[in-house]
């Protein structure tokens, strides 16, 4: 049994974790292909993501696992976990639940990438779908 367990965790060993034991993760919406957010995972977070079928990230500021949606209710259901050609970036194909269109960003926007460089300044171009104050009670 122990041998089977080792074999089943082998995929985690193939990831090139950085010196802090983290790997960068991009969350992409399955249907629209929109890039929703960027975050980090440690080994435990990625293992839990695979086991639970929902996104679990590692919060560097809080130094702990962060179950996406635990406070906001905006859970990410994971349909696929991809790895890039260098084995050092993870791409999640997700459905963002809790709101339509899904809210991935803590500002209440669909995507965290809502600012565009225009005339030498960052300009927010995507609407706030829900007031952040009402998301994080």
Contact 21, 43 (CB under 8 A): yes
- CA dist 30 and 99 (Å) reads 15
74 band by pLDDT with thresholds 50, 70 and 90:
confident
Q: What is the pTM of this model?
A: 0.87
14-104 CATH choice from 3.40.50.720, 3.40.50.150, 3.10.20.810, 1.10.3720.10: 3.10.20.810
The token pair at 40 is 């980090």
What would the DSSP string read from start to end of 18-69? -TTSEEEEEEEETTT--EEEEEEEEHHHHHHHHHHSB-EEEETTTTEEEETT
Q: Respond yes or no on whether the N-terminal peptide bond of residue 20 is cis (omega within 30° of 0).
A: no
pLDDT at 14 over 90: yes
Tens digit of each residue's pLDDT (9 = 90 or more) over 83-111: 999 999 999 999 988 766 788 998 999 99
């Amino acid at each position: 049994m122990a041998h089977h367990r080792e074999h089943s965790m082998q995929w985690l060993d193939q990831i090139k974790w950085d010196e802090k034991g983290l790997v960068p993760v991009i969350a992409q919406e399955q249907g629209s292909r929109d890039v929703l957010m960027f975050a980090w995972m440690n080994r435990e977070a990625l293992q839990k993501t695979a086991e639970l079928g929902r996104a679990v990230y590692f919060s560097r500021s809080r130094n702990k696992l962060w179950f996406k949606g635990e406070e906001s209710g905006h859970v990410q259901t994971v349909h696929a976990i991809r790895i890039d050609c260098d084995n050092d970036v993870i791409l999640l194909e997700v459905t963002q639940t809790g709101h339509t269109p899904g809210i991935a960003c803590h500002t209440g926007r669909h995507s965290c990438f809502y600012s565009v460089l225009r005339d030498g300044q960052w300009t927010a171009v995507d609407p706030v779908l829900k007031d952040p104050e009402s998301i994080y009670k």
